[in-house]
Amino acid sequence: MFMKAIKSLIIFACIAMTGIMLYLGNQIWNQNVQQKEQERSLVRIENNIKDQLSSNAEQPVPPKKPQPKSLTIAAVGDIMVHMEQIQGAQTTVDGQKAYDFNPALAQISPFLKKADFIMGNLETTIAGVENRGYSGYPEFNAPESLLFALKKAGFDYVSTANNHSLDRREKGVIKTIENLEKAGLLFSGTARSQEERDLHAIVERNGIKLALLSYTYGTNGIPIPTGKDYLVNLIDKEKMKSDITSVRDAVDFVIVSIHFGHEYHRKPNAQQIEISNFLVEQGVDVVLGSHPHVIQPATWIDNSFVIYSMGNFVSAQRGDYKDNGVVVYLNLHIDEDGNRAITNAKFLPTYVSKYTHQGKSNYRVLAAEKSIQDFEDKVDPLLREFDYQKLKQAYKDTTEHLQQESFPVMQISQ
């Protein structure tokens, strides 16, 4: 009996052990299957990532489209300083004689600063009092403080090639450039060396590059020293063509300030028209004329803007349209495809008002429409009835002479 029980127990133990072995073997099998499935999944994921990376590498990322760019320039005509203006600007600072030209520009400055870049024609030397003193016509030499007043009013650049560039000869050219640099004003048209002349004035604003060139018909018979043609840029087609070619591909817009025409004539002569067409043919985008001391019409040649004369910006010249001026506004635009255009061209009529302060004659540049309103609103005590009538006439004359659909007068609220 006992042996039977032992035998049964052994049989039961064998059956149990067999069951346990089968169970454990099944668990190990399942784990192996799951592990292999996980390994296969990881391989599939890795292959998918490689395929995606390979696909992305094969498809180049399209270049980011450039954003449109715009730059508004403001340009004015002749900046002149006659002896009467110098005497009117004379003052005293810390017991020393000084000259303050800020009042002459204070009224017009807010209108200039509507633009991103402001330019004008500096028709005087700034050669220092030690260089034969300060003087007006016929050989101009204005105090250095004029340049700081221009800078304060918003000016960025002045053209220096005109018939008065050599009024203090070679020394005057060099000293004027030194004083322009001290005042932080860009310039073109005169130079101290051939290397400086060939650099040309190139400036970038709002992502737009400008080349600024300047030329004059002559220097009032004052000869340029032999071998130093670089001192003043004269109108010479071959040189102008070479200059334009050298900068055309390096910039977005080429602007030429040019001193030409007949003084006091309100219409351009044949030479002005011919030279302007030549400049546009060479790739110039904007031609800004000066010298006649009165405003001459503007026109479009192909897609380039030309104004033959912007008149006097500031001077002591009176009557016969010589106290009328203009601020020209041009928007230089580059679209997202890189196409260049001049848009939103307009003009602001100005008038140089003469008044008396502390027994001396003074002059200031006024926005004609704004000062008409100021007189009517009685907010400018310096304006008289005489000025009011002259302002209205100046606004009318300038608007009638310049306005066209593609070049309208600017409203002062703009």
State how far the alpha carbon of 299 is from the alpha carbons of 263, 311, 359, 403, in Å: 20, 16, 43, 10
192, two tokens:
């101290």
Query: If you average pLDDT over every residue of the chain, what do you get?
Result: 90
Alpha carbon distance 143, 344 (integer Å): 36
Q: Does the structure show a pLDDT above 80 at 64?
A: no
Alpha carbon distance 344, 367 (integer Å): 19
Question: What would the pLDDT profile of 305-326 be if each residue is shown by its tens digit?
Answer: 999 999 999 999 999 999 999 9
272, two tokens:
């002005």
Which pLDDT score is estimated for 412? 79
Mean pLDDT of 241-262: 98
Which pLDDT score is estimated for 11? 53
Question: What would the pLDDT profile of 324-376 be if each residue is shown by its tens digit?
Answer: 999 999 999 999 999 999 999 999 999 999 999 889 999 999 999 999 999 99
State how far the alpha carbon of 78 is from the alpha carbons of 203, 250, 313, 327, 398, in Å: 22, 29, 5, 11, 16
Q: How does residue 27 score in pLDDT terms, banded at 50, 70 and 90? A: low
Mean pLDDT of 271-294: 98
Topology of the domain covering 69-404: Purple Acid Phosphatase; chain A, domain 2 (3.60.21)
Alpha carbon distance 411, 408 (integer Å): 9
44 DSSP 8-state letter: H
With beta carbons less than 8 A apart as the criterion, state whether 388 and 379 touch: no
Check residues 15 and 107 and name the one with the higher pLDDT: 107
Which pLDDT score is estimated for 393? 98
Which pLDDT score is estimated for 306? 98
Which pLDDT score is estimated for 55? 56
Mean pLDDT of 374-396: 97
Which pLDDT score is estimated for 4? 53
Share of the chain above pLDDT 70, in %: 85
Axis-axis angle for helices 169-183, 145-153 (nearest 10): 40
Mean pLDDT of 240-247: 98
Q: Does the structure show a pLDDT above 70 at 132?
A: yes
Question: What would the pLDDT profile of 171-227 be if each residue is shown by its tens digit?
Answer: 999 999 999 999 999 999 999 999 999 999 999 999 999 999 999 999 999 999 999
Q: Which of 149, 121, 110, 118 is nearest to 367 (CA)?
A: 110
**Which of 31-35, 59-63, 398-402 is the least confident region?**
31-35
163 DSSP 8-state letter: T
Which pLDDT score is estimated for 390? 98
User: For the stretch 188-211, what's the b/e string if a residue is b when 16 or more beta carbons lie within 10 angstroms of its beta carbon?
Assistant: bbbbeeeeebeebbeeebeebebb
Which pLDDT score is estimated for 44? 59
What is the DSSP secondary-structure string of 122-151? E-SB---TTTT--B-TTS-B--THHHHHHH
Q: Does the structure show a pLDDT above 50 at 29?
A: no
Angle value at C-alpha 43, between 40 and 45, nearest 5 degrees:
110
Mean pLDDT of 64-90: 95
Alpha carbon distance 332, 71 (integer Å): 5
Q: Does the structure show a pLDDT above 50 at 33?
A: no
Question: What would the pLDDT profile of 39-60 be if each residue is shown by its tens digit?
Answer: 555 445 555 545 555 555 555 6
Alpha carbon distance 244, 232 (integer Å): 17
Domain borders along the chain are 69-404
φ, ψ (nearest 5 deg) of residue 140:
-80, 140
Rounded to two decimals, what is the model's pTM?
A: 0.84
